[in-house]
Amino acid sequence: MTEPLFREDAYLQETYGTVRGHTPEGGVILDRTIFYATGGGQPGDSGWLDWSGGSLPIATAIKGEGDAIVLVPAEPAALPPLGAEITQRLDWMRRHRHMRVHTALHLLSVVIPLPVTGGSIGSEKGRLDFKMDAPPADKQGLEDALNALIERDLVISDDWITDEELLANPAIVKTMSVMPPTGQGRVRLVRIGLAADQVDLQPCGGTHVARTSEIGRIRFGKVEKKGRDNRRVTIHLD
């Protein structure tokens, strides 16, 4: 098992860890990590591992067996030995841009309140696919509404509910293609805004900024037809 430190503190950029395993493909498994593993449309983090006698650039992180997170080297190289104490460092600028885009996509699902059929997050842009039979009539109006939400400087927080509570309240799940992971007893919710200012609440395991103003201004890109009743909406960090 790898303790996912990013889940408790998405702003932790450097910390220590201990090597618990290697994969046959040359990956490294630590006892605890700040590297987010690819999932939910969000790419795995990149960065570096340093230890006494060596250093290793990490290209991405993926989910391994059980609860393990596997750090994938950027190139074949000597791995840190089992039991080694290492320093792990994120490519913070890349991760932070993922956080900004991811949070903006949550807000996009607020200004376009339609079922989500897919999505993807990058360091420059992101997109959501919506069950939408015609393109939006006022794309500029949607962009203005999204940026207005961002400028409200809403607080982003999280909470946990049980699997049973999620099943009893299916309306909070916006994605049609990917259901939140269940079976571990609880599901993480990401909340945007507090009390009367709450604008969004949905299950999510990704990393997000602390306040919406941190996203910065967003620019709408293409709206593409992806099937008879499906439209892909792309947004860019401006």
pLDDT surpasses 80 at 25: yes
Q: Mean pLDDT across the stretch 21-39?
A: 97
Q: Other C-beta atoms within 10 Å of 100: how many? A: 22
Q: How far is CA 143 from CA 82, 150, 202, 235, in A?
A: 50, 11, 21, 9
Question: Residues 69-93: pLDDT tens digits?
Answer: 999 999 999 999 999 999 999 999 9
The separation between CA 148 and the C-alpha centre of its own chain, rounded to angstroms, equals 22
pLDDT surpasses 60 at 183: no
For the residues of 20-77, what is the DSSP string, one character each? EEE-TTS-EEESEESPPPSBTTBPPP-EEEEETTEEEEEEEEEE-STT-EEEEESS--
d(CA 42, CA 207) in angstroms, rounded, equals 9
d(CA 158, CA 8) in angstroms, rounded, equals 10
Q: State the chain's mean pLDDT as an integer.
A: 93
Percent of the chain with pLDDT strictly greater than 70:
96
d(CA 74, CA 58) in angstroms, rounded, equals 5
The DSSP element (H or E) to which 95 belongs, if any, is: helix 92-111
Smallest Cα–Cα separation from 33: which of 51, 57, 52, 14? 14
d(CA 234, CA 228) in angstroms, rounded, equals 18
Question: Residues 98-129: pLDDT tens digits?
Answer: 999 999 999 999 999 999 999 999 999 999 99
pLDDT at 16: 97
